[in-house]
């Protein structure tokens, strides 16, 4: 990047939680650290923001990061009728509005875990509420241990789809090892999305939208020790390149990477 220019600004979604009676906006610092490590400046987007507030926030940033969360997308969002105890409808409202705006305005957007699932649902796809209860799929949930190195350790490979964006980035590799910390997963892929990676049991683990400058979702957690993982470095580098290009267009200048 040109040394006279500061890095792009990335909007990072927050979740709504309750802590000892207080209403809290929260985000895991792993995501913020990854954004900063790859030369960008994170700003937090509070869950529960109005549509007008969200549009104003998006105008300020160069890219959007949809994080993972222990909450799940509300079943009503994808036509399901089961009970869901771990909802965060303020987060849903924020993320789904952001996805719509990023689609319309071609803002670079990266979705991780819950964010990946939100992107699929926003475009018309559906989810498995509990992947581990579906015949043929392995248990993709995180380790109950508090050791983060164990939680985020590689859990299984994913096979990279031919002729996709990931195949271009990773050639000649055709698979990579990823971690696994999710209970829900993609059931029906949304129209228009291209599968980028699939786990050995057949679960979709990554996708892209070819008609968009950067619309990518991954089911695993590349933010964990991102600078030490080959694919994570590529993913975040490409995200920041796309965000910087958008910034250059907004500022009317040319940014060099």
- Strands (DSSP E) contained in 154-198 are 156-160, 175-178, 185-186, 193-198
- Residue 102 catalytic? no
- Residue 223 catalytic? yes
From the list 15, 102, 140, 221, the catalytic residue is 221
Instruction: Say if CB 221 and CB 113 are below 8 A apart.
Output: yes
Instruction: Say if CB 46 and CB 101 are below 8 A apart.
Output: no
- Max Cα separation, the chain? 55
From the list 118, 196, 205, 223, the catalytic residue is 223
Instruction: Say if CB 25 and CB 59 are below 8 A apart.
Output: no
- Residue 84 catalytic? no
Beta-sheet pairing, 215-218 with 109-112: parallel
From the list 14, 15, 113, 140, the catalytic residue is 113
Q: List Cβ neighbours of 25 (8 Å cut-off, separation of 6 or more).
A: 14, 15, 16, 17, 44, 46, 47
| Active site residues per annotation | 113, 221, 223
């Amino acid at each position: 990047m040109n040394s006279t220019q500061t890095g792009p600004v990335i909007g990072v979604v927050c979740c709504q939680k309750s802590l000892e009676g207080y209403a809290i906006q929260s985000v895991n610092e792993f995501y913020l650290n990854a954004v900063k490590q790859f030369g960008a400046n994170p700003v937090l987007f509070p869950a529960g923001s109005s549509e007008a507030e969200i549009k104003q926030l998006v105008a300020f940033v160069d890219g959007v990061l949809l994080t993972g969360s222990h909450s799940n997308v509300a079943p009503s969002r994808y036509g399901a009728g089961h009970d869901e105890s771990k909802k965060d409808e303020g987060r849903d409202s924020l993320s789904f509005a952001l996805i719509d705006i990023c689609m319309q305005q071609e803002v670079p957007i990266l979705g991780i875990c819950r964010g990946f699932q939100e992107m699929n649902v926003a475009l018309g796809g559906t989810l498995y509420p509990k992947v581990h209860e579906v015949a043929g799929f392995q248990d993709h949930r995180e380790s109950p241990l508090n050791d983060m190195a164990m939680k985020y350790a590689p859990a299984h490979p994913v096979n990279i789809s031919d002729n996709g964006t990931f195949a271009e980035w990773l050639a000649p590799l055709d698979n990579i090892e990823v971690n696994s910390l999710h209970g829900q997963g993609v059931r029906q892929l949304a129209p228009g999305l291209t599968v980028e990676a699939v786990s050995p049991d057949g679960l979709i683990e990554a996708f892209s939208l070819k008609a968009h400058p950067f619309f990518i979702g991954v089911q695993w957690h590349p933010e964990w020790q991102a600078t030490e993982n080959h694919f994570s470095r590529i993913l975040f580098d490409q995200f920041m390149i796309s965000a910087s290009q958008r910034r250059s267009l907004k500022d009317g200048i040319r940014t060099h990477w």
